[in-house]
Amino acid sequence: MKAGFFVTGTDTDVGKTWTTIALMRWFQMQGLSVVGMKPVAAGCEWQDGMLKNSDALLMQQYASVPLAYRQINPYAFEAAISPHLACGDVEVSMDVISDGFIRLQQLADVVLVEGAGGWYSPLSSVLDNAGLAQALRLPVILVVGVRLGCINHARLTMSAIRHAGLSCAGWVAVQIDPKMPGFDGNLAFLQEVIEVRLLGVLPFLAAADFELLAPNLSLPNWQKVDVHQKK
């Protein structure tokens, strides 16, 4: 069974990429082939004569099958600013992204698509993450970076996902501040008010260790997630 998920976050720098790679490893541990896609990325650096993004390079490294860099990240921009500014005069085409996603689906059992920034963060002058997820018709996995303000951001994002007519496969809590007071209390409150399953809690790590992070996740009945939910 082919499957896909759109990974979004409550904000930028909340742990989306680490969550995405940990999810890739979790699916691989279930015996499935997995690839990741980062359609639009800003803050890229020149490597081997082309702009490359560190998040997309991690996806390339952990993919179950060999992929060319542009298969993972078709739109890479150098400036470390919002993609809708970093893209300049470059048109970010939904057709290009959709075609790339379909080709990736033919190569693996599961495709994880990671957005850039939060749910309504713009990817170009005409496209944002919400529009990208709607165009791909993917169930959403929400990454909540647990810090001051995250309850409001998480509830607003969940409301926006529902408003978009998309299903949510669950949410992941990421401990991004090891010294945050009240972490357990905030986590418990989020579990009460977010109406979908908590897929796992990723502990704070100073450096990425996806073999350690992946077992903290669980996606029961992932094959049954409704990818055709309407408003």
CATH number for position 180: 3.40.50.300
**Would the annotation count 30 as a binding residue?**
no
Here the tokens at position 11 are 């904000």
The active-site residue, picked from 2, 38, 224, 230, is: 38
Residue 229 located in a structural domain: no
Domain for residue 230, yes or no? no
pTM score: 0.93
Is there a domain that residue 131 lies in? yes
179 catalytic? Reply is: no
> How many C-beta neighbours within 10 Å does residue 223 have?
8
Indicate the number of domains in the chain: 1
pLDDT (tens digit, 0 to 9) for every residue of the chain, 231 residues total?
Answer: 579 999 999 999 999 999 999 999 999 999 999 999 999 999 999 999 999 999 999 999 999 999 999 999 999 999 999 999 999 989 999 999 999 999 999 999 999 999 999 999 999 999 999 999 999 999 999 999 999 999 999 999 999 999 999 999 999 999 999 999 999 999 999 999 999 999 999 999 999 999 999 999 999 877 655 544 433
Is 5 annotated in a binding site? The answer is: no
9 annotated ligand binder: no
Output the furthest CA–CA distance in the chain (Å, rounded).
49
**120 in a domain, yes or no?**
yes
Residue 116: domain span = 3-224
Domain assignment of residue 231, yes or no = no
Tokens of 92: 């970010």
